[in-house]
Amino acid sequence: MNEPNGPHTMPTSRTYAVVLEPEPDGGFTVRVPALPEIVSYGDDEAEALAMAEDAIRLVIEDRQARGEPVPVDAKPLIHEVTVTLAA
């Protein structure tokens, strides 16, 4: 059965890696490597993750509305590199 706005579709779930970068004065900057247009902020980890979820949903809906592809998650490889500086 069709609804007024088109056929009923089941919601889908997507999972994306989210990077929380601690800020010097507190809080976290949020980035989503697969969706580089997302840069957000939260006062604590829970708020930062909630902001990321909202931003991801909005970006995906916007891309779909414009007929643009929605990338799958890019699993970032995170390493530490030690650099020795001359004295």
pLDDT digits (tens, 9 = 90+) for 1-23: 444 455 556 678 899 999 999 99
Tokens of 40: 């957000």
Domain boundaries, the chain: 15-87
Q: Which fold has domain 15-87?
A: Double Stranded RNA Binding Domain (3.30.160)
- The model's pLDDT over 12-71, given as tens digits with 9 standing for 90+, comes to 889 999 999 999 999 999 999 999 999 999 999 999 999 999 999 999 999 999 999 999
Residue type, 32: V
pLDDT bucket at 75, cuts 50 / 70 / 90: confident
